[in-house]
Structure formats: structure tokens, C-alpha cells
Amino acid sequence: MLTHLYIENLAVIEQLDLDLDPGFTVFTGETGAGKSIVIDAIGLILGERTDPSLIRAGRPRASVTAVFDLSAQARALLAARNLEASDHECTITRQLSADGRTRAFINGIAAPARTLQEIGEILIDIHGQQAHQSLLRREIQLAILDGFSGATAASSETARAFREWKQVSGELLRLDQAQGYDRAAESALLDYQIHEIEMLGFTAQELPELEREHTRLANLSQIVAGCRYALLALREDNDNAHALISRSEREIRAAAALDERLEAVVDLLVTAAIHIEEAGTTLNRYLGALDQDPGRLQHVEARIAALAEVARKHRIPIAQLPAQLAELRARLAVIQGSEARLNELKEAQNTLRTAYQCAAAGLRELRTQYAPRLAQRIAATMRTLGMPRGEFVVRLDALEDAAANGQDRIEFQVTTNPGQPPRPLEKVASGGELSRISLAIQVLDATSKGIPTLIFDEVDAGIGGAVAEIVGRHLRQLAQHRQVLCVTHLPQVASLGHHHYSIKKHSGQETTTVVVGKLQGQRRIQELARMLGGINISEQTLRHAEEMLTHGTLGVEQARSGA
């Protein structure tokens, strides 16, 4: 529960230091005195959005600090985030700066607003002045039914299954749209193109060899003629080169016998004769081995034409066919990989859809089971709030469309007059009736939750007379097992509080401040009398206030004890 609240420089509050107790605590004061600012401050502790305009005029920053006596659930949540404190206490501080920046601390450790929200959800439940409107929203009505039926875990599981299903569905859609073509047709085309190039058996080394062979075969007659002429010139004519060199060698050898300086020339001529002989032998072997089959040229030209035809289809040179084959294989692998991913996502989508549908069906079963019980409990509370013939209906309809909160459409329906069919809650004509029905729902909703601190901020608006006293009794009864804080304008409600605080605004020439004081004894009677009679308080009003305080509290105690 909330044990201490310290507020500094927030709106018209300069400094406020409150120690809070268990039970039913009421806050009263004139309109505009700043009662709701206290509730707003608690909202900041719970991670609500901040606004620099909340900072007191002329001050650079504002802060709110709250101390909680923790439940076991809250201690476990803090421990999971390494925020555990000693003595079962938790201190949360929220600081606001004029530049719009905020900081939050849990037990002295910096924490994001999201963590405040998570912890706040199990520490405090605020029922604000706009509860009438929020109760008309279908998602709020479902949350109330889920809380009453103990289906909160099932609802969370359904929401988780929905998120996972939609996440996979979104990825599947994005992948499908990103490809934007017929994958089967593209895969078949790539298969064909790859097969066509592979069937060529072409390598990067083949083309130069083909080009050389084609040049040789295309010019074969010229090559043969040149070789035969060379053979004649080298050693087959009468005056062939070999014979001439040999004669020259004999003549020079004879001269070298007379002048040894010519011996080097003899050696050169001998070497030349040897080279000429080898050249002739090589030419003979070349001509003997030369393939002069005319069909070979046709084969080479057909091979080059086949390569050129496939290269033309891909608009590339023949030499780039191996690289093109590698690229086509890579593209096919990507498609096959994406196809595998698509199949994987489709399978996951089906599995997650089934999981969601099972979770939603289980949630519907719980809701269907408890909807009549919730309606009966709300109707019973309505009858204590001045609607003795009131009836309440929780209507559930199955939906085809999926949503995070299940596949149920809920509608709270009510009838306040016998013989009239139930109508949707938003169709209730009387504002006073709507206020009482809303309060009945809120009281029951608060009862079904295990949250240790409940705050009611002027939820009794539009209620008065005997009904107001009944409202106060309901709130006091709620406070038997939890802390209840209530901002109220009704003396009937205020008189039933275990603790009573008065909030007053003091306006000076230059500044305005808010003072909060705990009321006891005569001061409390004076405040109740003010709420009853306004500015001019008579002795009769004071006696009425004293009787209200005495008999109201006594009546609750007697009702509790069965007297």
C-alpha cells in the first residue's frame, strides 16, 4: 500500500508531505482547491505522461516521491529487475524539468517510465472522473469481465499468440510483396537457362583453343603451301639452303687451315647446317601430322556457333558464359532459399493461427461461463444504489475477425425499469443512473482485483442523498482488505472515511499554495458541515454533521458485526 507521498513544486502545490494509513481515506475541499492534483501526482509515479506545464510557475523542476509497503507480487517484480529493496519497501521518485526532460528512480536506481507502469499496475488502481466514458469502450468491458472471471492470464496468452501470429503473417506478406513475381515461373526459367549452359560443357580455357584451331583450319591450304615451299628451299631443290651451306663450310674450312681466325666461321656454318636439317625434319613431321580433314573445320565452326547462340540469348560475349552460369545458379539459390523461407513462414503462420484460435476459444469459454455471474453481481450492487428493479446483462457474441483480446464482442446492457428490454450502457438516458451503474461496475471491478491501493477520484459525481451514503459504505467495505483513497464532494461519503484530509488553496498577492491537513474531532465536523451547508454554517448543520459522522461510522461497524 501507499504509505508516504511527498510532492514539491507541482502545479499549485509548493510542498506537500503526507503519511497515509490503511483503510478508507477521504480527501475533501472546495472546487478548484487542488484535490485532483494529488491524484495527478500519484499518476506520475505510475508512469503517466508528463507535461512541463505541471511545474509550479517560476520553479525549474518538480518532483513526486512515493513510498510503498510491497506485496509479495510487487517484490518479485522488483527483484526480477534488480530493484529489490530492504524492509519490503519501495521508493519511487519522478522528477520533471522545465525543458521537458523527466527522470525516474526506483529505490535510487534510474528506471524508464515503462517500468513504472509495470510496477504501478500491481500497486495502485485509479478510477478517475472519466470512468463513465471509459466503461463504454468495448475493450474496457472485456478487461472487466476478464478480471472478474480470473481470465487475465488467458487474455494475456491470447494477446501474445495474436502478436506472434501477426508478426509472422506480416513477415510473410513483406517477403511475398518484395519478390513481386511468379516464383515458380522464374525458377523454371533459371533451371532451363542453367541446363542450357551446362549442356555446352564450356570452360573459360576452351574459347582461345577453338579460335586458334579455327584460324589454322580456315587457312590450311596456305599453311601447307608455305611449308612445302620451305622444304624445297631448305633441302630438296638442287640449290637448296642445306647444300649451299655445306659447300660454304668446306670452302671456309680449307681457308681456316691457312688462317685459324676463320675457324669460328666454320663452327657457325656447321651449326647453321644442323639447324636447317632440324627445321626440315620438323616441317616433314608437321605436314605428316597435320589434320587436313575438311569435316573438322565444320565441327569447329558449329561449336563456335552453338556457343555464340547461347551467349546471344544472354546478350553477353562467349567468354562470359561461365560467369553467367555462376550468376544464374546464385539467383536460383536465392529463389529456392526464399521459397524455403516462405514455406517455413506459411507453416509457422498456420501453427500460430491454430495456437491463437485455441487460446481465444479457451478465453471465450471462461468469459461465457462468468458473464452471467458478473451481470448478477453488478445488478445486485445497482439495487443497493437506488435502482431496486435494475437488471444488468453482459452480452457476448462470437466474432470471425481476430483481435488481440480474442474473438468476442462484448456489450454491457442495462434496464432500470421493469418491462423494458435491456439496452446498451451508452443508451442509458439518465446521467445519474449512468453514474450509479458506472460506480457499481467500478466497485465490483476493484473487488475482483488483488491491487492493494484503490483510488476513486470523484467517481460519486451525479450521486446524492441516501445513495451517496450507500456509496460510502461500499467504499469503506472495500477498505477492509485494501487501502482506499477517495476524492469526494459528498459529505455522506466523507463521513464514512477512516481518515479525512482537507485540501485548501490559499491565494496571496503573488503566489498560490495548497495546504493539506488531516482532520479529526471538531475540525472534521466543521468540514462535513461546510460540505452540507456551504459558507454559512448553522448550529443545526453542525449537529447534522456530527450525527452523520457518529451514526454513519457506527452504522457501518454494526452492519459489519451483524448488530
Reply yes or no on whether the pLDDT at 524 is more than 90.
yes
Domain that holds residue 561: 520-563
Least confident of 246-260, 304-318, 395-409, 444-458: 444-458
Query: Which of 311, 39, 31, 318 is closest to 193 using CA atoms?
Result: 311
Q: What is the pLDDT of residue 178?
A: 59
Q: How far apart are CA 221 and CA 201, in angstroms?
A: 31
Coil/strand/helix, residue 126? strand
Q: What is the pLDDT of residue 125?
A: 84
pLDDT tens column, 191-203: 899 999 999 998 8
Is residue 229 in a domain?
A: yes
Q: What is the pLDDT of residue 359?
A: 95
For the chain, give the mean pLDDT. Answer: 86
Sheet holding 423-424, edge to edge: 391-398, 408-415, 423-424
Distances (CA, A) of 62 to 19, 38, 515, 539, 548: 20, 13, 17, 43, 39
Q: How far apart are CA 503 and CA 32, in angstroms?
A: 10
Q: What is the pLDDT of residue 555?
A: 47
Q: What is the pLDDT of residue 361?
A: 95
Q: What is the pLDDT of residue 515?
A: 86
Share of the chain above pLDDT 90, in %: 33
CB-based burial label for 176 (10 Å; 0-12, 13-18, 19+): middle
Is residue 498 in a domain?
A: no
Q: What is the pLDDT of residue 463?
A: 76
- Do 343 and 126 touch, CB atoms closer than 8 A? no
Q: What is the pLDDT of residue 559?
A: 44
Q: What is the pLDDT of residue 558?
A: 45
Total Cβ atoms within 10 A of residue 61? 17
Is residue 304 in a domain?
A: yes
**C-alpha torsion sign, points 528, 534, 538, 544:** negative
Last residue of a domain, one of 334, 368, 389: 334
pLDDT average, residue stretch 128-139: 74
Reply yes or no on whether the pLDDT at 556 is more than 60.
no
Reply yes or no on whether the pLDDT at 272 is more than 60.
yes
Reply yes or no on whether the pLDDT at 284 is more than 80.
yes
Reply yes or no on whether the pLDDT at 287 is more than 90.
no
In which band, very low, low, confident or very high, does the pLDDT at 181 lie, cut at 50, 70 and 90?
low
Is residue 371 in a domain?
A: no
Q: What is the pLDDT of residue 562?
A: 45
Reply yes or no on whether the pLDDT at 316 is more than 80.
yes
Is residue 231 in a domain?
A: yes
Last residue of a domain, one of 334, 352, 374: 334
Q: 560 versus 344: which is more confidently predicted?
A: 344
Last residue of a domain, one of 312, 334, 356: 334
pLDDT average, residue stretch 396-415: 92
Is residue 248 in a domain?
A: yes
Reply yes or no on whether the pLDDT at 165 is more than 90.
yes
Q: What angle do CA 456, 480, 431 make, to 5 degrees?
A: 30
Bridge-based pairing of strands 453-457 and 124-127 is parallel
In which band, very low, low, confident or very high, does the pLDDT at 552 lie, cut at 50, 70 and 90?
low
Question: Count of domains in the chain?
Answer: 2
Q: What is the pLDDT of residue 563?
A: 35
What DSSP string runs through 365-385?
HHHHHHHHHHHHHHHHHHHHT
Least confident of 139-153, 169-183, 258-272: 169-183
Share of the chain above pLDDT 70, in %: 93
Is residue 237 in a domain?
A: yes
Q: What is the pLDDT of residue 3?
A: 94
Instruction: Cell numbers for 174, please give them.
Output: 513483406
257 Cβ neighbours under 8 A, 6+ residues apart: none
> Residue 118 belongs to what H/E stretch?
helix 113-123
Q: What is the pLDDT of residue 343?
A: 83
Q: 463 versus 221: which is more confidently predicted?
A: 221
Is residue 440 in a domain?
A: no
